[in-house]
Amino acid sequence: MLSQEIRRSFLNYFKSKGHTIVPSSPVIPHDDPTLLFINAGMNQFKDVFLGKSKRDYVRAVTTQKCIRVGGKHNDLDNVGHTSRHLTFFEMLGNFSFGDYFKKEAIAFAWEVATQVFALEAEKIWVSVYKDDDEAHALWEKHIPVNRIVRFGEKENFWAMGETGPCGPCSELLYDRGEKYGPAKNPKEDFSGERYLEFWNLVFMQFSKDASGKMEPLPKKSIDTGSGLERVASLKLEVDSVFQTDILRGLIAEVETISGKTYDLQNTTLAPAFHVIADHIRSLSFAIADGVQPSNTDRGYVLRKILRRAVRYGRTLGLQRPFLAGLLPRLISSMGEDFPELKGAENRITEILTLEEEAFIRTLQRGGQLLGQVIERSQKEAQKITGEDAFKLKDTYGFPLEEIQLIAKDENLDVDLKRFQELEDEAKNKSRKAHKTEAQKFDPNFFADFTKTHFDGYQHTSTESKLLGIVMGGQFVSHIESGQEGILLLDKTPFYPEMGGQVGDTGEIQKGTNAFQVYDTTAPFPGVIAHLGKMGSGTLKKNDQVVASIDVKRRVEIRNNHTATHLLHWALQKVLGPHIKQAGSLVDEKRLRFDFSHHKPLSPAELKEIERLVNEKIRENLPVQTYELSFEEAQKRSEIKQFFGEKYGDRVRVVDIEFSKELCGGTHALRAGDLGLFKIAKESSIAAGVRRIEAVTGKYAEELIEAGEAILQSASAHL
């Protein structure tokens, strides 16, 4: 297969040049909350380029799975209607981290393009940044000067962001001939169809500060990216990436399923074949890497991709779920080099089918109205009215983004101004109907306050200084018997509510003067607030006090927190590595754990999860905690990290030998402290998100005893 040959020959070439072959990272960026999906080969090396981490190698080569469906790189709207846009593609890339620079990068690219890819040298053009005389001179050694063009910053200067590493870049372009336009050179080819860009070499040589000033980097680096599908289309001399081997094979499968014949020139049906062939790859790889369709973040994007594929399937007469039927063909063409596809085949099949069935039900409810809206809009102003868009969203659950996507596919606009007016009217009505009084507290109130030192990992009671007293939203000098308020200490053993763990309770006292703490929070980073009520006596600012937590309650909380780590581990063992934590609650009586999964757990699965957790409790391994630099933690794939979490330079690891997670909570000293683990309930809280509620220790015993009592009562009546 051609794509496989290109992929492997590229990797092997750079391996022979001293590069380490680095596997593609998952399409989910585990350590970059700014990205929904990996969209370039350099993403997994971002911290290396920024100087925040180091690798054991200075030269790397990858073939990276990429999904571009949002933000700056959003190709979704164009997919199906152009010859080269895809949501999923493979990016071939070679990288240098302070090792070689322009001379070698250009020489490598020329040799690969002409010998490994075997493209015709006389058809290759290159572009360089307008001021990059060095790159221009280096290219002159390989290519006639009349096939080197200069472009400005928009085309040939790359930056990682508003600040940070940046530099000029050089693109390799291939002249596909007059069939694709009359342009005599890339500068005249405004569509980019004739002179097709197939490789970009980025020369990272500057660092830009917030003012826009650029300073030379101490270590210049190289980041390159070449789209495998584009290279394949050039080698096959075809008009579209959809005529390359992998995508054309998927289209052939769609032909079989639909009974329709694919014709690239058929502008009515060809886009449907393109959309389905592309989208099944994005869906399958994303699900294999742990993403599930949902109503938020990347899960929502995935759901949008799936629904777009289903809608286009209907233009081919596909009224029943069909996407899973394409999976075997995809696995046969890509599964050998990406074995995660085969490993997740059953789960991908189940999720695709469940999601399709749900969307088909939605279409059956609102499809008639949708069809009428489209037909009416095409006849009138080529615009979906705000009223129609609002009704589709409010009555039938079509998100606005999806309505806009449908409109674009039908060459229609949406009256967003009127839609927003109706949205605002509905929100105002809702507010009036559900008016509530709420206490508002500006978190910046504590911004300038002295940070609190937490020493509750080691101690349950601490001698502290009372630095501040807050009552009624104001700092005061003292608090008297019967008054409620917030106490702020210089150091405390009280753990504030965070990370799903409830705050500690206890007492802050000076002699017989005692303040009862009924909750502990962190209203501002680094500040711990003790909420409660003054019992007997009075406390004053700057008093020396003793802060003591409710030890019995803390022990039960920390046992339940450790149980969530054991449960997370067991869920991945039983259900698969796609399981990701989606939320939790830990208090003294129970634990609640939310996780990504597409269907209810069977009784056998729940029983096995319980068995695994209790087995680890009986092993009674120590629960160790230690700190690492975040850089070091990122290198250790066995340590669980959570998307969207903000981590500092130093992170805390909770390590139970078989389970390692970044976590700031309090934990049992040994797994055996939990005593017993029992699942009370498993349920759905949202599409693609399940919840397990469980208990440990004496509460687990009570739950078992209650169940036995019910059985005994029932048997007595038989």
Domain 557-714 has CATH 3.30.980.10: yes
- Residue 21 φ then ψ, to 5°: -75, 115
pLDDT for res 287: 93
Query: Alpha-carbon distance 446 to 523, whole Å?
Result: 7
pLDDT for res 73: 53
CATH number listed for the domain at residues 443-549: 2.40.30.130
Query: 460-493: buried (b, 16+ CB within 10 Å) or exposed (e) per residue?
Result: bebebebbbbbeeeeeeeebeeebebbbbbebbb
pLDDT along the chain (718 residues), means of 10: 93 96 88 77 84 85 90 68 89 95 97 96 96 96 96 88 84 95 93 93 88 85 96 94 96 96 92 96 94 82 91 92 96 94 92 90 74 83 86 74 77 88 77 42 70 94 95 91 95 94 96 95 90 94 96 96 97 90 92 91 96 96 91 79 66 93 94 96 86 95 87 75
3-state secondary structure of 233: helix
The 3-state DSSP composition of the chain as helix, strand, coil percent (nearest 5) reads: 40, 25, 30
Query: 236-264: buried (b, 16+ CB within 10 Å) or exposed (e) per residue?
Result: eebbbbbbbbbbbbbbebbeebbebebee
Kindly state the tokens that stand for 106: 């250009």
* CA neighbours closer than 13 Å in the CB half-sphere of residue 443: 8
Nearest one of 290, 231, 374 to 579, comparing CA atoms: 290
DSSP code for 397: -
Query: Alpha-carbon distance 597 to 43, whole Å?
Result: 27
DSSP code for 191: T
Kindly state the tokens that stand for 212: 């826009």
* pTM of the shown model: 0.72
Nearest one of 91, 87, 82 to 63, comparing CA atoms: 91
pLDDT for res 396: 67
The stretches of 380-463 forming alpha helices (DSSP H) are: 386-396, 400-409, 416-433
Q: Is 36 exposed, middle or buried (0-12, 13-18, 19+ CB in 10 A)?
A: buried
CATH number listed for the domain at residues 2-232: 3.30.930.10
Q: What one-character-per-residue DSSP string does 657-676 give? A: SS-EEE--S---SBGGGG--
pLDDT for res 434: 41
Query: Alpha-carbon distance 669 to 624, whole Å?
Result: 8
Asked whether 492 and 576 are in contact (CB, 8 A), the reply is no
